[in-house]
Amino acid sequence: MKLNDKQINRLIRLIFDELKGQNMVSFKEDENKVKARATDIVKQNMRDEEAIDAKVNSMMDDLERQHGGEFQRYKMFPMLKKKIAQEEGFIL
Protein backbone atom coordinates (compact mmCIF):
# COMPACT_ATOMS: atom_id res chain seq x y z
CA MET A 1 0.00 0.00 0.00
CA LYS A 2 1.33 3.40 -0.96
CA LEU A 3 1.09 6.04 1.78
CA ASN A 4 2.32 9.61 1.66
CA ASP A 5 4.15 11.28 4.57
CA LYS A 6 1.01 12.93 5.88
CA GLN A 7 -0.83 9.60 5.98
CA ILE A 8 2.09 7.86 7.70
CA ASN A 9 2.31 10.57 10.36
CA ARG A 10 -1.44 10.37 10.96
CA LEU A 11 -1.28 6.58 11.24
CA ILE A 12 1.56 6.76 13.78
CA ARG A 13 -0.24 9.45 15.77
CA LEU A 14 -3.47 7.42 15.88
CA ILE A 15 -1.65 4.27 16.97
CA PHE A 16 0.26 6.11 19.69
CA ASP A 17 -2.85 7.93 20.92
CA GLU A 18 -4.73 4.63 21.17
CA LEU A 19 -1.88 2.91 23.02
CA LYS A 20 -1.51 5.84 25.43
CA GLY A 21 -5.27 6.02 25.94
CA GLN A 22 -5.31 2.39 27.05
CA ASN A 23 -2.20 2.86 29.23
CA MET A 24 -0.40 0.22 27.19
CA VAL A 25 2.73 2.25 26.57
CA SER A 26 4.94 4.75 28.34
CA PHE A 27 7.87 6.54 26.77
CA LYS A 28 11.39 6.59 28.18
CA GLU A 29 12.41 9.04 25.44
CA ASP A 30 10.71 12.16 24.16
CA GLU A 31 7.48 11.15 22.45
CA ASN A 32 8.35 13.12 19.31
CA LYS A 33 11.62 11.19 18.98
CA VAL A 34 9.73 7.92 19.28
CA LYS A 35 7.19 9.04 16.67
CA ALA A 36 10.00 10.07 14.32
CA ARG A 37 11.64 6.67 14.74
CA ALA A 38 8.33 4.88 14.14
CA THR A 39 7.84 6.96 10.99
CA ASP A 40 11.33 6.01 9.77
CA ILE A 41 10.57 2.33 10.39
CA VAL A 42 7.30 2.49 8.44
CA LYS A 43 9.01 4.29 5.54
CA GLN A 44 11.83 1.72 5.46
CA ASN A 45 9.28 -1.09 5.50
CA MET A 46 7.52 0.49 2.53
CA ARG A 47 10.83 0.81 0.63
CA ASP A 48 11.56 -2.86 1.35
CA GLU A 49 8.15 -3.88 0.04
CA GLU A 50 8.66 -1.76 -3.09
CA ALA A 51 11.97 -3.59 -3.67
CA ILE A 52 10.16 -6.92 -3.40
CA ASP A 53 7.51 -5.67 -5.85
CA ALA A 54 10.24 -4.68 -8.32
CA LYS A 55 11.87 -8.09 -7.97
CA VAL A 56 8.55 -9.85 -8.54
CA ASN A 57 7.78 -7.69 -11.58
CA SER A 58 11.18 -8.52 -13.03
CA MET A 59 10.57 -12.23 -12.47
CA MET A 60 7.14 -11.96 -14.06
CA ASP A 61 8.60 -10.19 -17.11
CA ASP A 62 11.02 -13.10 -17.56
CA LEU A 63 8.23 -15.66 -17.12
CA GLU A 64 6.00 -13.79 -19.55
CA ARG A 65 8.73 -13.84 -22.21
CA GLN A 66 9.13 -17.59 -21.70
CA HIS A 67 5.44 -18.51 -21.68
CA GLY A 68 3.89 -15.91 -23.93
CA GLY A 69 0.12 -15.46 -24.03
CA GLU A 70 -0.78 -18.11 -21.47
CA PHE A 71 0.74 -16.14 -18.59
CA GLN A 72 -1.65 -14.41 -16.16
CA ARG A 73 0.19 -11.67 -14.27
CA TYR A 74 -2.67 -10.82 -11.92
CA LYS A 75 -2.69 -14.40 -10.60
CA MET A 76 1.06 -14.81 -10.40
CA PHE A 77 1.96 -11.52 -8.73
CA PRO A 78 0.50 -12.27 -5.26
CA MET A 79 1.87 -15.82 -5.28
CA LEU A 80 5.38 -14.74 -6.26
CA LYS A 81 5.32 -11.78 -3.87
CA LYS A 82 4.34 -14.03 -0.97
CA LYS A 83 7.10 -16.50 -1.85
CA ILE A 84 9.82 -13.86 -2.26
CA ALA A 85 8.76 -12.07 0.93
CA GLN A 86 8.89 -15.34 2.85
CA GLU A 87 12.35 -16.16 1.45
CA GLU A 88 13.63 -12.73 2.48
CA GLY A 89 12.02 -12.87 5.92
CA PHE A 90 9.66 -10.00 5.14
CA ILE A 91 6.21 -10.04 6.72
CA LEU A 92 3.48 -8.78 4.44
Question: Can you give the residue ranges of every domain in the chain?
Answer: 5-87
- Longest pairwise C-alpha distance within the chain: 58
**pLDDT given at position 1:** 67
Q: Where are the alpha helices (DSSP H) in the chain?
A: 5-21, 31-67, 73-87
Measured between alpha carbons, how far is 3 from 86 in angstroms, rounded to an integer?
23
Going residue by residue through the chain, which has 92 residues, state the pLDDT in tens, using 9 for 90 and above: 689 999 999 999 999 999 999 999 988 999 999 999 999 999 999 999 999 999 999 999 998 888 877 778 888 899 999 999 999 999 98
Q: Give the predicted TM-score (pTM) of the model.
A: 0.82
